[in-house]
C-alpha cells in the first residue's frame, strides 16, 4: 500500500481571539464614540451655544425643538453607556438623526455627513443589540 500524502510535522495553532469578544469590543468602541458625540452636541444644544441657536432659528420651528433634540441626544447618549439601555438609546436616536439629515438636506443646507455617520452608528448599535430588543418585545406581547 502506498501513502500519497503523509505529514508528520506538527501543526501549531495560535490561539485566536474569539470572534464574539472582538465583536463586543468593536460594539463598545462604537457605543462610546457615538455616546460621546451625542453627549457633546446635545449638551451644546441645551446650554444654548450661539451656533446651534442660530441653526434652530434657521429651521424656523422655534427653540423648543433645540431643547427637545438636545434632551433626546443627552439621554440617549447616557443610555448608550448602560448595556441594558443601549439598544433603546440607539433606537431613539435613529429618527432623531433621520430628522437631522432631512433638515440639512432640505431646510438649512450644510453638510448632512455628521448626522449620517451618527445615524449609521446608531443603526449598527440597534442591529448588534437586536436580541435585547426582541426579548423586551416578546415580554410585552
Residue 37 placed within a domain:
yes
Residue 10's pLDDT band, with cuts at 50, 70 and 90, is low
Q: HSE on the CB side for 69, CA within 13 Å?
A: 25
- Angstrom distance (rounded) from CA 65 to CA 132: 30
3-state secondary structure of 14: coil
Residue 11 placed within a domain:
no
**Residue range 46-88, pLDDT digits in tens:** 999 999 999 999 999 999 999 999 999 999 999 999 999 999 9
Residue 26 placed within a domain:
yes
Residue 5 placed within a domain:
no
**Residue range 78-121, pLDDT digits in tens:** 999 999 999 999 999 999 999 999 999 999 999 999 999 999 99
Q: Can you give the residue range of the structural domain that contains 43? A: 21-140
Residue 7 placed within a domain:
no
Whether the per-residue pLDDT at 4 is higher than 60: the answer is no
Indicate the number of domains in the chain: 1
Amino acid at each position: 500500500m502506498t501513502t500519497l500524502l503523509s505529514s508528520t510535522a506538527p501543526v501549531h495553532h495560535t490561539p485566536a481571539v474569539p470572534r464574539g469578544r472582538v465583536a463586543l469590543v468593536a460594539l463598545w468602541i462604537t457605543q462610546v464614540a457615538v455616546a460621546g458625540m451625542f453627549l457633546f452636541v446635545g449638551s451644546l444644544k441645551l446650554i444654548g451655544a450661539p451656533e446651534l441657536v442660530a441653526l434652530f432659528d434657521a429651521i424656523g420651528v422655534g427653540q423648543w425643538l433645540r431643547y427637545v433634540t438636545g434632551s433626546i441626544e443627552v439621554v440617549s447618549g447616557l443610555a448608550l453607556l448602560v448595556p441594558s439601555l443601549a439598544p433603546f438609546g440607539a433606537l431613539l436616536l435613529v429618527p432623531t438623526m433621520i430628522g437631522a439629515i432631512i433638515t440639512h438636506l432640505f431646510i438649512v443646507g450644510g453638510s448632512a455627513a455628521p448626522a449620517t455617520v451618527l445615524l449609521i452608528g446608531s443603526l449598527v448599535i440597534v442591529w448588534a443589540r437586536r436580541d435585547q430588543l426582541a426579548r423586551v418585545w416578546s415580554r410585552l406581547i
